Amino acid sequence: MRLLTRTATNTYFPQVATVISLPSAEDALSGLVQGHFSDLNAAQSPADIAQARRFNSALRASLEGYSDADVFARLQQLRTRRDQAASLPPKLAEFDVFGSGAATIGENLPGSLVYAETLVRGTWDRDDDPLLRPIRNLVVVHRLREVSCLYGFTRFEAAPTSADGEVEDIRLAVHGAPLSLGADWLPAVEQFGEGLFIHFDEAAVTAWLERQPVGSRAAQLLAGFLLWQRAHGSTLDNRGVAYTMLHGLSHALMAEIALECGYPTSALKERIYALWDPARLGAVGRFGILIYTATAGNQGTLGGLVETARHFGRIIRSALRRLEVCSNDPICADHEPTSTADDRALHGAACHGCLLIAETSCEARNLFLGRSLLVETMATQHAALFHQ
């Protein structure tokens, strides 16, 4: 038992699992089968499809013009896809959709849950700027659905979350507790919004990771993480220097985009993709950032975030320029993760003057941040991904 003030900010930390809905239908027949999936799911042959049509007039009208064999084949495809999607971590499945390079993702229909477009490079990088070469594609997400489910809570300290979006066991992370001992359902909410997905070139990031100054900085950040891990008794894995770099860029872009599009920074959210590729024996193979807004009030999907894609080159250049010097330099730039003078072991060069934002917008509670992986600072040289 510990004494805790009732109004203290660490009285309650929710444990929330968040996913982005993905398109599951690529043509008209897939959409019809998906819409009647509950009616067709028990079918084991084309004959069962015929029986379902016979006794369900709405189903018969919807599938008119398609043979029983075609409907059953498409049903099997959707079943296989669902099983594969269920076996993947949420972020892995999301990245494979947004980073597919397809010109159109989802459908531009009023009832569509996801609709996105991969832009031609000339629309956002008109001058072929060398600074933007690490970025492969920019995807404008005109419509998305965010689903958040509350499954537990902690006190005193928030539970860690994994980099790939896997749900942490509520009994293993910081003494988490379920919402109810006998609950057979969990509260969830869906919100609609828009966003930008930034797909990074794998070869460019891999080459950056292999540079000696980057390895030295990664060793410093790892040493700080190990100190924090021992102090907190945490089983959380280190997210790696690639995650720290992407996370810092995401915060810088959100602050810059807020000035451009009219949304307040607190209305923007992020999802960072620095994921292991299961087909490459442990090599990090997926890099991306999703910056989006999904709120229920008047700060919802108004189109302002998508419109910033046309000026993305100027926005990222301005964001990086602001990071070169922090108002708290040289103290911010000189910060060592292994220092025991403060509780900032999971930070590199990051503070409220440069990278920290509202924790409601950050997926990692303002941890795993550092400017020196993005731009050259007073204390660290040659470790930046973006350089002239």
Are 12 and 157 contacting, i.e. CB atoms less than 8 angstroms apart?
no
* pLDDT value of position 77: 73
pLDDT in tens, 222-269: 999 998 888 877 666 788 899 999 999 999 999 999 988 878 888 899
Closest by alpha carbon to 204, among 100, 277, 130, 99? 130
Closest CA to 347 of 177, 209, 221, 179: 221
What pLDDT was estimated at residue 372?
Answer: 93
Q: How confident is the model at residue 162 (pLDDT cuts 50, 70, 90)?
A: low
Within its chain, how far is the Cα of 363 from the centroid? Answer: 8
Reduce the secondary structure of the chain to three states and give it as a string.
CCCCCCCCCCCCEEEEEEEECCCCCCCHHHHHHHHCHHHHCCCCCHHHHHHHHHHCHHHHHHCCCCCHHHHHHHHHHHHHHHHHHHHCCHHHHHHHHHCCCCCEEECCCCCCCCEEEECCHHHHCCCCCHHHCCEEEEEEEEEEEEEEEEEEEECCCCCCCCCCCCCCCCCCCCCCEECCCCCCCCCEEEEEEEEEEEEECHHHHHHHHCCHHHHHHHHHHHHHHHHHHHHHCCCCCCCHHHHHHHHHHHHHHHHHHHHHHCCCHHHCEEEEEEEECCCCCCCEEEEEEEEEECCCCCCCCCCHHHHHHHHHHHHHHHHHHHHCCCCCCCCCCCCCCCCCCCCCCCECCCCCCCCCCCCCCCCCCCCCECHHHCCCCCCCCCCCCCCC
Q: What is the largest CA-CA distance in the chain?
A: 76
Query: Contact, 355 vs 329, CB < 8 A?
Result: no
* Torsional sign, CA 321, 268, 284, 222: positive
Task: Choose from 65-74, 84-93, 107-116, 324-333 the range with maximum mean pLDDT.
Answer: 324-333
pLDDT computed for residue 298 by the predictor? 45
What is the pLDDT, as a whole number, of residue 277? Answer: 60
Bridge partners (DSSP) listed for residue 118:
139
Cα–Cα distances (Å) from 44 to 30, 35, 64, 180, in that order, read 17, 18, 20, 38
pLDDT digits (tens, 9 = 90+) for 32-50: 887 788 888 888 888 888 8
pLDDT of residue 92: 84
Q: What is the pLDDT of residue 82?
A: 66
Range scoring the smallest mean pLDDT among 315-319, 326-330, 363-367: 363-367
Q: Among all chains, which residue has been given the structure tokens 């919402």?
A: 179
Per-residue buried b or exposed e for 16-28, using 16+ beta carbons within 10 Å of the residue's own CB? ebbbbbbbbbeee
Q: Which amino acid is at 324?
A: E
Helix axes 68-87, 46-55, angle to 10 degrees: 110
Mean pLDDT in residue range 371-377 = 93
pLDDT at 301 over 70: no
pLDDT digits (tens, 9 = 90+) for 115-134: 899 999 999 998 888 999 99
pLDDT reported for residue 281? 44
Class of residue 30 by CB neighbours under 10 A (exposed 0-12, middle 13-18, buried 19+): middle
User: Mean per-residue pLDDT for 349-358?
Assistant: 92
Q: Is the pLDDT of residue 51 over 60?
A: yes
Q: What is the pLDDT of residue 235?
A: 64
Q: What is the mean pLDDT of residues 170-199?
A: 79
- Confidence check: pLDDT of 184 > 50: yes
Percent of the chain with pLDDT over 90: 34
Each residue of 272-291: pLDDT tens digit? Answer: 999 876 555 455 578 999 99
In the predicted model, is pLDDT for residue 175 greater than 80? no
Confidence of residue 299 (pLDDT cuts 50, 70, 90): very low
- pLDDT at 80 > cutoff 80: no
Q: Is the pLDDT of residue 99 over 60?
A: yes
Average pLDDT over residues 372-387: 89
The confidence band for 350, taking pLDDT boundaries of 50, 70 and 90, is very high
| Orientation of helix 240-261 relative to helix 212-232, angle to 10° | 90
**Span 2-16, average pLDDT:** 82
**Mean of all residue pLDDT scores within the chain:** 84
| Contact criterion met (CB below 8 Å) for 165 and 89 | yes
CA distances from 59 to 44, 52, 55, 63, 316 (A): 17, 8, 9, 6, 50
Confidence at residue 290, expressed as pLDDT on a 0 to 100 scale: 96
Higher-pLDDT residue of 252, 100: 252
Instruction: Give the model's pLDDT for residue 171.
Output: 45
- Separation CA 138–CA 101 (nearest Å): 9
